[in-house]
Amino acid sequence: MRADAEHRAWRVARAALATALAYAAVGWVALMLAGPPGYAAPLYPPAGIALAAVLTWGRPAVLGTLAGAFAVNASLGWLRGQEGLALVVLPFIIGVGAAAQAWVGAWLVHRFVGKPLLLNEPRDIAVAGALGAAVACVTSPSIATLALGAAGPPLRQLADVVGRRRARRADRHAAGAGVHRPAGGGLAAAPAQPGRAAGGGPGSSRRRDVGDRRARARARERRLRTRG
């Protein structure tokens, strides 16, 4: 029983990993054909790889498609200078669209062609191509276009909110450590309390007073020697 569960888990992981690697490898090559800003290529073979993988392996391939699409688009965003939340949220949404497209295509093919999928008749081949390619392939572009259109202001606002919260948290930590943040953004020592030296407590003040008295005594001795 345990051996069967381990074998099933390994099979799921292997299917997801194989799908993710194949999708990412072919996707990086396909994006070389993309025009500005680089998210749309005239030919995108990973969509076909994802559909074939989901038809063969089912749900594990859906997860693999999500991971592969995320890797492709996150690396593209990194190369184009994106950072912060935009480097995570936008590629994830595009990956969800790619996974949804593969799942919709596989569901349509199984629903209207049959399961197990044999594709040994011209009619089955035509229906599978029409549903899996022509119909289902509007899913990912639609989600990606909406994500790209909406990613600008909302993500910037969210990044600003997160940045302000981090600044406030840093200020609280700095205040607890005895430093404050000036307007320029750097860290400066907090002003010393009255009657206490900036570097320590009453002990340091007494030591400094003793040192001042010794320095004044040596100065008087030098003046007396000069007069004599």
The domains of the chain are located at 2-150, 200-228
* β-bridge mates for residue 48, sequence order: none
Q: Which residue has the higher pLDDT, 188 or 30?
A: 30
Contacts of 60 (CB under 8 A, 6+ apart): 11, 12, 13, 15, 16, 19
Q: According to the model, what pLDDT value does residue 46 have?
A: 92
Distance (Å, rounded) from C-alpha 159 to C-alpha 166? 10
| pTM to 2 decimal places | 0.61
Average pLDDT, the chain: 76
The answer, yes or no, to whether residue 66 has pLDDT greater than 60, is yes
Read off the pLDDT of each residue in 10-20 and give the average, rounded to a whole number: 94
Q: Are 125 and 119 in contact (CB under 8 A)?
A: yes
Per-residue tokens: 90? 């936008």
The answer, yes or no, to whether residue 190 has pLDDT greater than 50, is no
Which one, of 52, 48, 69, 59, lies nearest residue 11 by Cα?
59
Contacts of 12 (CB under 8 A, 6+ apart): 60
Q: Which residue has the tokens 């993309």?
A: 34
Q: According to the model, what pLDDT value does residue 72 have?
A: 92
Q: Which residue has the higher pLDDT, 122 or 18?
A: 18
Q: Which residues of 191-228 are buried (b: 16+ CB within 10 A; e: fewer)?
A: eeeeeeeeeeeeeeeeeeeeeeeeeeeeeeeeeeeeee
pLDDT tier, 207 (very low <50, low <70, confident <90, very high otherwise): low
Q: According to the model, what pLDDT value does residue 162 have?
A: 52
Q: What is the length of the chain?
A: 228
Q: In this predicted model, what pLDDT tens digit does every residue of 165-186 receive, in sequence order?
A: 656 655 554 555 444 444 444 4
The answer, yes or no, to whether residue 153 has pLDDT greater than 70, is no
The answer, yes or no, to whether residue 159 has pLDDT greater than 70, is no
